[in-house]
Structure formats: structure tokens, C-alpha cells
Amino acid sequence: MTQINPQIEASWQDILMDEFAASYFASLKEFLIDEKKKFKVYPPGNEIFNAFNHTPFDKVKVVILGQDPYHGRGQAHGLCFSVPRGVEPPPSLVNIFKELNNDLGIPIPDHGNLLKWTDQGVLLLNATLTVRAGQAGSHQGKGWEQFTDAVIRKISENKVGAIFLLWGKYAQAKEILIDHGKHYILKAAHPSPFSAYSGFFGCKHFSKSNELLTSHGLSPIDWQL
């Protein structure tokens, strides 16, 4: 069995120790090793756990859930909805920026890198953390969902007052993992062009999150990039 030693921030390493020791994670590791022999896999190995490395467990204030990494060249860098500087923001991210502008008057940025959010306590978590180049959903059902479900449960069990932004049906299905008595759940349509006009635009999740944070004496998120 492959030895598991993921390069992940120390607080997450501690709280997810049981997941890394589980048989499903060993199988996932074997799958990825085999997959990389045959195909290009995104994001690069050192960026798979970017969301965790930029937002330590004790710093998590807001959780935004995505589904899959982007599968185009140079797009995925371990943060849901985000792309590195120099890469054109995909349509869902463009709509996120439109809602930010509508909600808080924040100018639409000239890039799509959301790292500034993560360093303030916004965990940008995809349910599946890798993907085969050019093939959306190709790494679903291989173990990542079990791992990221555990991440959501750990946050729910060990923290109080986290704000979960659940956009679209896929993210909203994760609601069962969250203790409603301890945390805040804000739901809206997905920011995709196919659904943004069905309830994402006008949801005001960014201002609502900041109102909740300040009501608990926590610093709000500076959403401007």
C-alpha cells in the first residue's frame, strides 16, 4: 500500500489524520499515480491542497463549495472558482464578480485569482480536488468526495459560527453534513450562466457574510481583489 504523506498545512494534517490513514485514501493515491502516468492531471501536485495551505483550520470563517477543478490548461490551482493571474476568468467567476459589484459596489477585477480571500479565512473547497485535462468530472467517485465530505464534517463538529455558501444543487446536497445549530448556511443558485439569473444574482451573500462576521465580533472579509 502506498505511503500517504500529503503536503498539507499542519493544522489540517492533524485534524484529517484519520482520513489520510484510511484505505480509501490509499486507493485514491494509487489512482492518481496511475492516472498521471497516462494523462495530464490538473492542478499540479503541489497545488492540490492549496485551499488548505492558505486557510489553516483555525482561520476558517467562510466556506465556499465548488464541484470540480477547471479542466483547461493553466486554470486550476487548488481553489474553487479561482484561476491564476493571466488566465481569463471563466463565466461562473465573471458572474461572481458581477454579484460582488451589485452587492457591495466592488469594481470588477482584471484577474481571477481569489488567493486574497483565502488568506482572510475563506476556504475555497472543491468536492473533487483533481481532474484529467480536458475531461470534466473525470476524477469523481474516486475518493475525493469522501475526503472533502470529511473536511466539511470536521469544520461543522469542531468550529462554531462558520458561514457556508452553498451555490447550486450539488453544493446544497452537502447541507446534511453541517450542524445548523452551530453554523450559518446561505443558499443560492449556481453562478453558472445557465442558472445565475435564477437566484444567484441578488443573493447578496458577500454582504450577508460580513454582517454575520461583524455581529460575532470578527473582522469582515475584504472581498475586493
Strand partners, 41: 132
List C-alpha distances in Å: 84 to 111, 161, 183, 204.
8, 30, 31, 25
Task: Please name the residue ranges forming H helices in the chain.
Answer: 10-15, 17-20, 23-38, 50-54, 91-104, 115-118, 144-158, 169-172, 205-215
- Of 68, 110, 179, 222, which one is the catalytic site residue? 68
What is the number of other CB atoms lying within 10 angstroms of the CB of residue 157?
12
Q: Does 68 qualify as catalytic in the annotation?
A: yes
d(CA 208, CA 122): 14
DSSP state of 155: H
DSSP state of 178: S
Q: What is the dihedral of CA 43, 44, 48, 50, to 10 degrees?
A: -100
Enumerate the active-site residues: 68
